[in-house]
Amino acid sequence: MRDVIVAANWKMHTTPSDAGDLASTIAARTRVSGVTRVICPPFVSLAVVRDTLASSDPDVGVGAQTVHHELQGAYTGEIAAPMLVGLASWVIVGHSERRRDAAETDELIGRKLGRAVDAGLRPILCVGERLDEREAGNQADVVERQLAGALAAREPAELLAGGMVIAYEPVWAIGTGRNASGRDAAAMSATIRDVLAGLGWKAAADDVPVLYGGSVTSSNIAEFLAEPSIDGALVGGASLKPDEMAGIVARAGLTAAARTAA
């Protein structure tokens, strides 16, 4: 049975003086059995979010939003995986905003993935097509290429043991208010597991949680979690709103309970 996961990507929002309060408010509003919750604040707020959650709700995981592909060196402004140990237990890798703004390639993202699992950080690998790629009907090829490129450097068993999660995030749905349909997300989730199986994961492909991300709200989360192949959500804008997170995690709890009962 796969975990049901709701991960909050705060992007470049909050400061260290307000992140702790927001994290504890969200934690208090989302205590739902069976749902793995993760909050990914900006780097500078990792410590305050970690400390606040440690005393208020240690069940909520803390994640970073990216990590560097090298262990150390002359990389001004960057953060290496070993630096995150003790601050975070999760890390988002390959978010489309980093692919777009920091020119991250699939090969580079693969190196980040490796650094994450070596440091004991559970990676959330983001994949997803742009609008022009979907309109051309190429979405499955794009995601297959992204997965093959990012996963090439490591053995499936290593990534599986590292707790890798995949987030299908169509670029055109991120921050636009235009979410994918549950059916399209489920189709891509099946494609992702087929690609993993083809890359040598075989039956283990079924064990990898696949999240949907892209304009998820408390109003549309049910559409995604109604799909058995979708195991939760990576939430951006709505994750800054405690009411939204309460609704999203409450719905995720229904899926978790149904899976336990099945």
Binding site for ligand PEP (CB under 6 A): 9, 11, 169, 174-175, 213-216, 234-238
**Shortest distance in whole angstroms from residue 29 CB to ligand PEP:** 18
Smallest gap from residue 82 Cβ to ligand PEP (A): 25
Burial 65-89 (b: 16+ CB within 10 A, else e): bbbbbeeeeeeeeebbbebbeebbb
End-to-end C-alpha distance for the chain, whole angstroms: 10
Q: Which is nearer to ligand PEP, 156 or 225 (CB)?
A: 225
Pair type for strands 210-213 and 232-235: parallel
Kindly write down the DSSP assignment for every residue of 94-152, as one continuous string: S-HHHHHHS---HHHHHHHHHHHHHTT-EEEEEE---HHHHHTT-HHHHHHHHHHHHHT
CB of 128 to ligand PEP, least distance (A): 9
* Residue number closest to ligand PEP, CB atom: 236
What would the two tokens of residue 109 be?
């993202």
Phi-psi category of residue 138: left, alpha or beta, with phi > 0 → left and psi -120 to 50 → alpha: alpha
Q: Are strands 61-64 and 35-40 parallel, antiparallel or unpaired?
A: parallel
| Closer of 23 and 156 to ligand PEP (Cβ) | 23
Extract the tokens encoding 55. Answer: 């005393």
**Between 41 and 236, whose beta carbon lies closer to ligand PEP?**
236
Q: What Cα–Cα distance (Å) separates residue 205 from each residue in 1, 5, 198?
A: 13, 17, 9
Q: Minimal distance in Å, beta carbon 99 to ligand PEP? A: 12
Smallest distance, ligand PEP to C-beta of residue 22, A: 16
Beta carbon nearer to ligand PEP, 156 or 234: 234
The catalytic residue among 69, 95, 104, 223 is 95
Q: Which DSSP category does 237 fall into?
A: G
Which residue in 97, 104, 133, 169 is the catalytic one?
A: 169
- The answer to whether 169 is a known catalytic residue is yes
Residue 129 or 201: which CB sits closer to ligand PEP?
A: 129
Q: Which residues are catalytic?
A: 95, 169
